[in-house]
Amino acid sequence: MSRPTSFSQPLIQLVSRLHFYIGLFVGPFILVAALSGIAYVLSPSLENWVYQDALEGTEQGELQPLSAQIAAAQTYLANTTPPDAVRPAPESGDTTRIMFSDSSLGPSQHKAVFIDPVTLNVTGEANVYGTSGVLPLRTQVDLFHRQLLLGDIGRLYSELAASWLWVMALGGVALWFTRRQALRQRQGPRRLARRHAVLGSVLALGLLLFSATGLTWSQWAGGNIAELRHAWGWSTPSVSTQINASQSEPLDEHAQHRSSAHRSSTPTIALSDFDRALTSARLAGLEADRIQLTPPRSPEQAWRVAEIDRRWPTQVDQVALHPQSMSVIDQTDFTRFPLAAKLTRWGIDLHMGVLFGLTNQLVLAAIAAGVVVLIAWGYLMAWRRLRVASGQRFPSVTEPWVSLTPTMKMITLGVTLLIGAALPVLGASLALFIVIDVLRWYSKQRVTPNREVPNA
């Protein structure tokens, strides 16, 4: 391959030095995300072992109705309030998970009681988190991975890592492509640089997946991505549980006895309604073993029954059921989702390590371990470069920037502004990088005005 032309040389240097900046300053955040990500994707197996007593029930025997199982959980808690959600035992030998609200818990948390569906014995209780209902061990690993257990302010760390990860990956691939002939030399520091470039190129697709799906959960960029998906019709369809006038049940002779319940902010729910909802959902075509029933929280809401099996093949169909008749008023079918919505669903499930089970988890752990190796090699190469430079400061990004043509400057600036607006954390951190780099470059020009600036 021929050497880069004088036209492209400044641009390549700009990418190279930006890649260096990302590794130096954002690398620690990406490293923490990779290590905590390894712990997260491997946590399901550990979780099943730690909470084995609560998750395992009687393998043989007649299953009791959901209403009886919920009654057993209410008796255990001395609480007559209906549960917020119920997950029937998916397979023989599993337990039913009955989730109640608790004012002492944080947002998106529930108190779960595990019931043996055959004996109605309580096998355990635990606080579960999120729509996935993860148990305490995995919850703590998840929260550390996403926000370092620091709340919303901690989410900046993971958004910073996800925002720059794709830039680092694409920049590394571009550098490998333009310098692959030079990197074939196997002596001295070139050997480590070649290994770094080859490993980064091999992992590039996985890094792009981590970055794209991670940004969907981020605090700032996530909102922009949600708006973009909605505008382009990429949003994942979901049933509407709002009951409108055309879906209201006709009045009957007993309507006056239910008037007070309809005026109440909380609808009256009989435990037998859970059995009726489950039966209606099965008749409507929800066949997955893993399913969740969510009762209405207001008189204007319907029941939501959703498949929650995100393994392959994905089963995430949903139905909304009228609270009186249990007739279907809305329904979604995953097979009819737009391709973009399916890809979004599969991408998120891949990131979480649930799409292909243990195989998915091991592959993700391997990619994350590769990221750790890449960062370690990157810091080693940076240390060697600075040591060879006899204490000189690391190269400036401003140097190749001033060498770009006006057209390239305008294109680069325009693309940067668009990306910075879409990914605010990336934009803010890039602005900080630029300020620091310009100050360094200006200071260096004043100290050594007549010296030629060395290449990176």
pLDDT in tens, 315-347: 999 999 999 999 999 999 999 998 888 998 999
Question: What whole-number distance in Å separates Cα of residue 138 and Cα of residue 129?
Answer: 9
Question: Are residues 203 and 73 both part of a single domain?
Answer: no
- Does the structure show a pLDDT above 80 at 258? no
Q: Provide Rg for the chain, Cα atoms.
A: 28
Question: Are residues 440 and 373 both part of a single domain?
Answer: yes
- Does the structure show a pLDDT above 60 at 175? yes
Question: Are residues 223 and 198 both part of a single domain?
Answer: yes
Whole-number pLDDT of residue 392: 53
Model pLDDT for residues 195-244, shown as the tens digit of each residue: 999 999 999 999 999 999 999 999 899 988 888 888 887 778 889 999 87
Q: Is 23 inside a domain boundary?
A: yes
Question: Are residues 37 and 113 both part of a single domain?
Answer: no
Closest alpha carbon to 283 in 325, 311, 242, 246:
325
Q: Is 306 inside a domain boundary?
A: no
First to last CA, the chain: 21
Whole-number pLDDT of residue 448: 59
- Does the structure show a pLDDT above 80 at 447? no
Whole-number pLDDT of residue 394: 65
Domain boundary pick from 134, 159, 177: 134
Task: Over range 263-270, report the average pLDDT.
Answer: 70
Residue linked to tokens 């989730």:
99
Residue linked to tokens 């990004």:
397
Q: Is 165 inside a domain boundary?
A: yes
Question: Are residues 365 and 443 both part of a single domain?
Answer: yes
Question: Are residues 36 and 81 both part of a single domain?
Answer: no
Antiparallel, parallel or unpaired: β 122-129 and 109-115: antiparallel
Q: Is 386 inside a domain boundary?
A: yes
Kindly report which listed range (37-46, 176-185, 370-379) carries the lowest average pLDDT score: 176-185
**Residue with the larger pLDDT of the pair 45 and 375:** 375
Question: Are residues 443 and 370 both part of a single domain?
Answer: yes
Question: Are residues 36 and 171 both part of a single domain?
Answer: yes
Whole-number pLDDT of residue 265: 61
Question: Are residues 36 and 167 both part of a single domain?
Answer: yes
Q: Is 196 inside a domain boundary?
A: yes
What's the mean pLDDT when you consider all of the chain? 87
pLDDT band at 186, cuts 50/70/90?
low
Domain boundary pick from 79, 106, 134: 134
Question: Are residues 163 and 26 both part of a single domain?
Answer: yes
User: Which residues, other chains included, contact 306 with Cβ-Cβ below 8 Å and sequence gap of 6+?
Assistant: 239, 286, 291, 292, 294, 316, 317, 318, 319
Which DSSP state fits 397? Answer: S
Which DSSP state fits 301? Answer: B
Whole-number pLDDT of residue 255: 35
Decide: 88 and 96 in contact? Cβ < 8 Å. Answer: yes
Domain count, the chain: 2
pLDDT band at 401, cuts 50/70/90?
confident
Domain boundary pick from 134, 160, 185: 134
Whole-number pLDDT of residue 257: 37
Whole-number pLDDT of residue 305: 98
Residue range(s) defining the domain that contains residue 126: 52-134
Model pLDDT for residues 276-294, shown as the tens digit of each residue: 999 999 999 999 999 999 9
Which DSSP state fits 95? Answer: -
Decide: 382 and 23 in contact? Cβ < 8 Å. Answer: yes
Q: How many whole angstroms from its chain centre is CA 62?
A: 39
Question: Are residues 25 and 81 both part of a single domain?
Answer: no
Question: What whole-number distance in Å separates Cα of residue 41 and Cα of residue 354?
Answer: 9
Task: Over range 163-170, report the average pLDDT.
Answer: 96
Percent of the chain at pLDDT exceeding 90: 62
Kindly report which listed range (142-146, 187-191, 251-255, 377-381) carries the lowest average pLDDT score: 251-255
- Does the structure show a pLDDT above 80 at 104? yes
Question: Are residues 206 and 64 both part of a single domain?
Answer: no
Percent of the chain at pLDDT exceeding 70: 88
**Residue with the larger pLDDT of the pair 350 and 262:** 350
